[in-house]
Chains A and B, each alone.
Chain A
């Protein structure tokens, strides 16, 4: 558990975790992340594929038993994936708090 609190997720992984609150397939994730980030983050398929596989290994997301011959395989976040995202959120809040105090417009 403490291991989870001390890691820094990549932007791609964090946004994928957010995107998979509801089931979504690969291309859907790409579009969702581009939308959330207003076009700033464009996940490339190779990058997305690698991230998905790592997250599957870590048990943060699971592949849903789709239709047979499911080319449009869907994924969804798992409880431990939600925890990882929430831990990251806490970390980001700390950064924003400190950043605003020192360089913020006050």
Chain B
């Protein structure tokens, strides 16, 4: 029995997304495929798998990406699917706890990567917004205003994401002041 669910998680909501996937697993729905904002679940034993997701530095199909995924598989994890550079993996719960990062340094490196992505998107969109505004100044019709509002909304989301992940980076840095 398969079930497809459409759900939106923004880039910086990866922890929320992961939590949701594990909640679904606890209910007996194991994720077996991913698409753009679509998740395919197969009915199975509740809590059978532990799910983790990660943003890779390279595409999963690249040599480096493939090497990392193979490495994960060697440690007992299964590759579930990918969306751009995001990979979804799982491991049988009976094999024990499953995490991708176990120390602060590697956790910090990862969160900083997400923060940099958000910041980069935020900064890149500034000229796009200014350009767009410049072009529609004359028109100012319903469609232009609506699409401009959408553009601004996306930009705000990028900004929120950058701030949100920056808070996490600061918290981790603070932890690192006294422990590993």
Which residues of A pack against B, CB within 8 Å?
10-12, 25-27, 30, 42-51, 71-73
Please measure, in the bound complex, the distance between the C-alpha atom of A35 and the C-alpha atom of B110, giving whole angstroms: 27
- 15 A/B residue pairs, CB under 8 Å, sorted by A: A11-B180, A26-B75, A27-B74, A27-B75, A42-B102, A45-B75, A45-B77, A45-B100, A46-B54, A46-B99, A47-B101, A47-B106, A49-B68, A50-B106, A50-B109
**Which residues of B lie under 8 Å from residue A71 when comparing CB positions?**
70, 73-74
**Which residues of B lie under 8 Å from residue A12 when comparing CB positions?**
102-103
Chain A CB within 10 A, most for which of B71, B73, B97: B71
Which residues of B pack against A, CB within 8 Å?
54, 68, 70-77, 97, 99-103, 105-106, 109-110, 180
- Contact (A10, B70) CB under 8 Å given A45-B100, A46-B54: no
Please measure, in the bound complex, the distance between the C-alpha atom of A71 and the C-alpha atom of B72, giving whole angstroms: 10
**Which residues of A lie under 8 Å from residue B54 when comparing CB positions?**
46
A80 → chain B closest CB, angstroms: 22
Please measure, in the bound complex, the distance between the C-alpha atom of A42 and the C-alpha atom of B110, giving whole angstroms: 18
**Which residues of B lie under 8 Å from residue A26 when comparing CB positions?**
71, 74-75
Report yes or no: A25 in contact with B74, Cβ–Cβ below 8 A: yes
Report yes or no: A10 in contact with B109, Cβ–Cβ below 8 A: no
- Contact (A47, B103) CB under 8 Å given A10-B180, A11-B180, A42-B97: yes
Please measure, in the bound complex, the distance between the C-alpha atom of A15 and the C-alpha atom of B120, giving whole angstroms: 37
**Which residues of A lie under 8 Å from residue B180 when comparing CB positions?**
10-11
A92 → chain B closest CB, angstroms: 14
Please measure, in the bound complex, the distance between the C-alpha atom of A11 and the C-alpha atom of B102, giving whole angstroms: 11
Please measure, in the bound complex, the distance between the C-alpha atom of A27 and the C-alpha atom of B74, giving whole angstroms: 6
A7 → chain B closest CB, angstroms: 14
Report yes or no: A43 in contact with B73, Cβ–Cβ below 8 A: no
**Which residues of B lie under 8 Å from residue A42 when comparing CB positions?**
97, 99, 102
Please measure, in the bound complex, the distance between the C-alpha atom of A11 and the C-alpha atom of B75, giving whole angstroms: 20
Given A45-B71, A71-B74, 18 more pairs with CB closer than 8 A: A11-B180, A25-B74, A26-B74, A27-B74, A27-B75, A42-B97, A42-B99, A44-B99, A44-B101, A44-B102, A45-B100, A46-B54, A46-B100, A46-B106, A47-B102, A49-B68, A49-B71, A51-B106
